[in-house]
Amino acid sequence: MKAEDCLKKAYRSIYENDFEQAIQWFEQALVLAPDNADIHYRCSITCARSGRLEKALAHARLASALVPEQEEYKLHFDRLQSMELTLMAKRLLEGESAGSAVGAGSTSKPAASLLERAVRLDPLSVDAQVWLAIAYTELEQYDRALSAVQEASVLPQDVGIAKQLQELEQRIRKHMK
């Protein structure tokens, strides 16, 4: 079997909403063509959509390394790194709110650093901006928190998120008074 045949089967699996099968076909294609950056890229997209961030990152990293001049691969890799950093920061902040941190705000500073990097990697991530606002609020840096909420507010989003952003902005403004 050729890599192209595996790709056709991967696309058919995607069309049938069988993303796990699609990933298996992409990986089979990569056995046949391990240096094909485009297959790594497409496999990464499918992994990311299936919630398999670690595997998505690995394939995105390879695609970007194999063809560093391909901007699309770099942007995708940056976006995935931003997602990973946001998840790490979210765990830090949620751990703190669950009372597992030693002192109040002890994880907020490292979380804010992770989120600042996440926003640099993917300036269009509403999730990173929202968590950055939360981290800044925990650090009592209300102006910065408000700025992060306002940045998130101008990004594309659904009605539910827009409402949550308004509520978050109101809570931050209450802290400022």
Largest CA distance in the chain: 68
Same domain for 135 and 168, yes or no, is yes
Q: Say if residue 145 is exposed, middle or buried (CB neighbours under 10 Å; 0-12, 13-18, 19+).
A: buried
Same domain for 50 and 106, yes or no, is no
pLDDT at 103 over 90: no
Same domain for 9 and 61, yes or no, is yes
CATH of residue 127's domain is 1.25.40.10
Classify residue 106: in a domain, yes or no: yes
Look at residue 95 in the predicted model and tell me its pLDDT.
86
Same domain for 90 and 140, yes or no, is yes
Same domain for 84 and 164, yes or no, is yes
Domain end among 69, 91, 118: 69
Helix axes 71-97, 126-138, angle to 10 degrees: 30
Q: What share of the chain is helix, strand, coil (3-state, %, to 5)?
A: 80, 0, 20
Look at the chain and report how many structural domains it folds into.
Answer: 2
pTM of the model: 0.87
Classify residue 171: in a domain, yes or no: yes
Which domain, by its residues, includes 128? 79-176
Q: How far apart are CA 43 and CA 80, in angstroms?
A: 13
Model confidence pLDDT, tens digit, residues 11-53 = 999 999 999 999 999 999 999 999 999 999 999 999 999 999 9
Classify residue 74: in a domain, yes or no: no
Domain end among 69, 98, 121: 69
Same domain for 56 and 110, yes or no, is no
Model confidence pLDDT, tens digit, residues 131-148 = 999 999 999 999 999 999
Same domain for 92 and 147, yes or no, is yes
